[in-house]
């Protein structure tokens, strides 16, 4: 399998503290892998509606001023949150955030996206959280979501992967394994089952071992818990095992809340104490999967 070492990392920001947190994490990751950052701010830049009868030509100037001001703000924002040792570019994109992120990642050839997510729920989450969730399930590049609770250290000594037996989940495991500090760093695979008997657990362990990519078998610690999967169980296991990264599969085209049963994946992303890496079924090139 060809090694995965990110060389161009896309970091979408919104000038908030959570974005700054994610940007600092991306910078630390870039320093580890000698990677380059592409920091973007995306907005439609629609001027406020003027009900006083001002000529429409004025709106063009106003829009241009908005873009210029944002470009200056983005440069300052990057300077404040990125180490001088990390090379980066800043870019203003006049487009809706989701479309801009996907297009920029594809056009620039980014091999990783790092972005902040807000630990909110309900209507507010629909405004600030849906962008990250949409990108996680539609991007062809793997995505690392960083919330306010996550560390800014880019070291990865242990990975936790809640297994769903999908290609997306296997891709996420491969990507996370490649980001670890060493090729011997443990990969903890968690599987929950409803069987309470020893035979059912043993059968699940065999199935789990058979699912693991062959090149990663020696690094994996298999854990089967006789219970229904919940976000709290995954978060508790991540805390108990001191995981530095959680790897989940995000099936392309599905609602993100359905990636792991119910709203588990969504809650994990919002409340994890470490970054969460997601990949979907097309996140690993064919030559890597061969």
Question: 179: which 2 tokens?
Answer: 């980001």
Single pTM value for the model: 0.86
Q: Is the domain 155-290 a CATH 3.40.50.620 member?
A: yes
Residue 143 makes CB contacts below 8 A (sequence gap 6+) with: 112, 113, 114, 115, 132, 135, 136, 250, 277, 278, 279
Listed by start position, the domains of the chain span: 1-148, 155-290
CB 114 within 8 A of CB 83: no
Same-fold call for 1-148 versus 155-290: yes
DSSP 3-state helix, strand, coil percentages of the chain (rounded to 5)? 45, 20, 35
CB 119 within 8 A of CB 127: no
Other CB atoms within 10 Å distance of the CB of residue 236: 11
Q: What is the pLDDT along the chain (290 residues), one digit of tens a residue?
A: 446 789 999 999 999 999 999 999 999 999 999 999 999 999 988 876 655 555 555 555 578 889 999 999 999 999 999 999 999 999 999 999 999 999 999 999 999 999 998 644 333 333 445 788 888 888 999 999 999 999 899 999 999 999 989 898 999 999 999 999 998 999 999 998 876 666 678 888 999 999 999 999 999 999 988 777 788 889 999 999 999 999 998 865 544 444 444 367 778 888 899 999 999 756 544 333 33
Class of CATH domain 1-148 = alpha beta
């Amino acid at each position: 399998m060809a090694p995965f070492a990110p060389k161009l990392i896309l970091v979408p920001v919104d000038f908030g503290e959570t974005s700054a947190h994610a940007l600092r994490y991306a910078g630390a990751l870039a320093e580890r892998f000698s990677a380059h950052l592409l920091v973007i701010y995306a907005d439609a830049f629609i001027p406020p509606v003027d009900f006083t009868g001002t000529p429409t030509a004025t709106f063009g100037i106003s829009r241009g001023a908005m873009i210029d001001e944002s470009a200056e703000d983005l440069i300052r924002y990057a300077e404040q949150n990125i180490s001088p040792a990390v090379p980066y570019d800043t870019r203003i994109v006049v487009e809706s955030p989701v479309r801009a992120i996907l297009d920029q990642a594809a056009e620039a050839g980014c091999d990783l996206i790092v972005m902040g997510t807000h630990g909110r729920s309900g209507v507010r989450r629909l405004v600030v959280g849906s962008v990250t969730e949409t990108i996680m399930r539609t991007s062809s590049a793997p995505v690392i979501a960083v919330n306010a609770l996550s560390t800014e250290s880019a070291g990865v000594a242990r990975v936790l992967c809640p297994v769903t037996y999908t290609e997306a989940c296997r891709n996420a495991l491969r990507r996370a394994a490649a980001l670890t500090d060493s090729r011997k760093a443990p990969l903890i695979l968690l599987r929950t089952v409803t069987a309470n008997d020893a035979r059912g657990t043993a059968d699940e362990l065999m199935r789990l071992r058979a699912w693991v990519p062959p090149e990663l078998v020696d690094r994996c610690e298999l854990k089967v818990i006789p219970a229904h999967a919940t976000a709290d169980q995954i978060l508790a296991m991540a805390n108990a095992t001191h995981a530095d990264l959680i790897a989940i599969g995000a099936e392309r085209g599905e609602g993100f809340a359905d990636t792991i049963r119910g709203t588990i994946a969504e809650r994990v992303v919002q409340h994890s104490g470490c970054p969460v890496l997601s990949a979907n079924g097309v996140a690993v090139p064919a030559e890597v999967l061969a």
